[in-house]
Amino acid sequence: MRFRCVCKSWSALTCNPLFIETHRNFNGRNHTNLFLTTWDRATKQQQFFSIQIDQEGSPLPGTNHLLKLPTPLTKYPTVYNAHTINGLVCLYFPHTSIPNRSKYDFRVHLFNPCTRESIVLPYSIRISGTFHETNHFGFCPLTNEYHVLQVKKFLNRDMMEDSRTIFGNSIQIFILRMNSWRGIEVDHNDQPFDFHTCQFHRRSVCIHGALHWLHGTQDLIVVFDLKDERFRVIPFPKDYNYHTVYFSPTFGSIVEVGGCLALIDDKESNQSMLRLWILKDYQNQVWVTETIIFPSLWESTFRPVPFGTIHTGELLFQSPALVKLESSNVRVLLYNMKSKSFRTIEIILPEWIFPSSHTKLRLFPSFVDSIVHLSM
C-alpha cells in the first residue's frame, strides 16, 4: 500500500483488477483473518478487531484493532451486523425498529480491514411506513462489482382492507463506484415464489455472482442474480425438510462450505450430530450430504452453527458456549471435512478489548486480505 505513493504506474498497478484478484487469491491460500466484535453496554461503543490464522491453521500473536463505531442508546442491545466477501466488510444495523431514529446515522458502512479504508453509503430512498430493513452484500465476478441489496418491508396504508394489514416490499441496490441507490422494480405476481413470505431478513450467501436465501414457507432457495438483477429459485434437495430444522435467528440454515452453497439439516440432531446438504454441482443442481458427528466434549456447545470455510479447508463454527470470555481467552471450533476430525484453537485476547464486565463478544464471518480500493 505504501508503494502506491512511489509513482503513478505503481499506483495504477495496485488498482488493476487482475492484480487485486491475484493478490487476494495468494493471501487466501496462506491465511485467514478471524473477524470479531465486542459491544460494551456502559460506553455504547462497538469495537471491531481481527486475529490472523497462519498457513498451518494456528493463530498468530497480536490483535489488530480495526474500527470503532457508536451504537444507539436503546433498551435492548442494537449493534452492527456484518457481511464479508472478497476481503470487504459491509456493516449495517439489522433492523429499523429503533426509537428516535433521527438522532442516529443508520447508513451502511463499507470497510476494508486490510487497508483500513472505509466509506459510508448515502441515505437510501425513504419509504413511508418502513418497519424493517436488511442489507445483503454481494460480488459479481462477471462485472467485477460489489453490490449492496437493501430490502425494506413497509406497511402499505393505501391497500389496507378493513382490519387486514397489507405489507409491501421495496428493493434498492447500491453498486460501488456509482455513489447512489437505485430502485429495482419487481412484479410480485410474476415471481416463481411467494415474495411476501420470503425471509429476506435472514442471512444470505453470495456464491457465483448471486445472493441466496431460504424462502421460509416454500421448499426452495430464492436467488437474486446480481448481473441480470432478476430473481429465480433452486428447489430443495429431496428429503430435506426445512420446516423441521432448528432455525437459528442469528445465523440461519444456509451457509457457504468450500465455495459451495449448503443447507443445514439437524432435524435428527440431539446436539451431537448435524447434516449438511451441499450443492456440489451448481449448474445441474446436484446435492450431496455430509454428516458431522460432534465429539462428546462438544455436547454442551448448544448447537454449534457452521460459519463458512477458511483457507485450510476447515469449517468454522460459531457457538455461544465456546466463543465467550474465559479469562480473556476465546476458543474457536474447526472441523476438517476431509479427515472428519475436530479441533479447537484458543486465542488470548488483550484486556483492552473488555473494558467492563458488560462487554459482549461475537464472531463474524472470516475474511482474507484484499487491496481493493473503496471509491465512489
Domain hosting residue 71, numbered range:
31-367
> Which one is predicted more confidently, 159 or 76?
76
Per-residue pLDDT of 167-187, as tens digits, reads 777 899 999 988 889 999 888
21 in a structural domain: no
Say what the pLDDT of residue 104 is: 56
> Which one is predicted more confidently, 243 or 351?
351
13 in a structural domain: no
What's the residue count for the chain? 376
17 in a structural domain: no
5 in a structural domain: no
The 8-class DSSP code of residue 72 comes to -
Neighbours of 54 (CB within 10 A): 13
Sorting pLDDT into bands at 50, 70 and 90, what band is 272?
confident
| Burial (CB count <10 Å: 0-12, 13-18, 19+), residue 169 | middle
Say what the pLDDT of residue 50 is: 94
207 in a structural domain: yes
Say what the pLDDT of residue 38 is: 86
Instruction: Count up the domains in the chain and report the number.
Output: 1
Sorting pLDDT into bands at 50, 70 and 90, what band is 75?
low
Q: Say whether pTM exceeds 0.85.
A: yes
147 in a structural domain: yes
What share of the chain in percent tops pLDDT 90? 41
User: Can you tell me whether residue 212 is helix, strand or coil?
Assistant: strand
Per-residue pLDDT of 197-241, as tens digits, reads 888 888 899 999 999 998 878 889 999 999 999 999 999 998 887
Among 84-93, 165-174, 301-310, 326-335, top mean pLDDT goes to 84-93
Sorting pLDDT into bands at 50, 70 and 90, what band is 163?
very low
Mean pLDDT of 321-326: 51
User: CA–CA separation, 32 vs 43, rounded Å?
Assistant: 30
Say what the pLDDT of residue 87 is: 93
Mean pLDDT of 51-61: 92
Per-residue pLDDT of 84-101, as tens digits, reads 999 999 999 876 555 455
Reply yes or no on whether the pLDDT at 286 is more than 60: yes
Mean pLDDT of 336-351: 87
12 in a structural domain: no
Evaluate whether 154 touches 131 at the Cβ level (below 8 Å). yes
Sorting pLDDT into bands at 50, 70 and 90, what band is 283?
very high
Say what the pLDDT of residue 153 is: 81
| Mean predicted lDDT score pLDDT of the chain | 83
User: CA–CA separation, 5 vs 188, rounded Å?
Assistant: 50
Per-residue pLDDT of 131-148, as tens digits, reads 678 899 999 999 999 999
Say what the pLDDT of residue 187 is: 87
Say what the pLDDT of residue 251 is: 55
Return the CATH number at 329: 2.120.10.30
Say what the pLDDT of residue 178 is: 86
Contacts of 149 (CB under 8 A, 6+ apart): 135, 136, 138, 171, 172, 173, 211, 224, 226
99 in a structural domain: yes
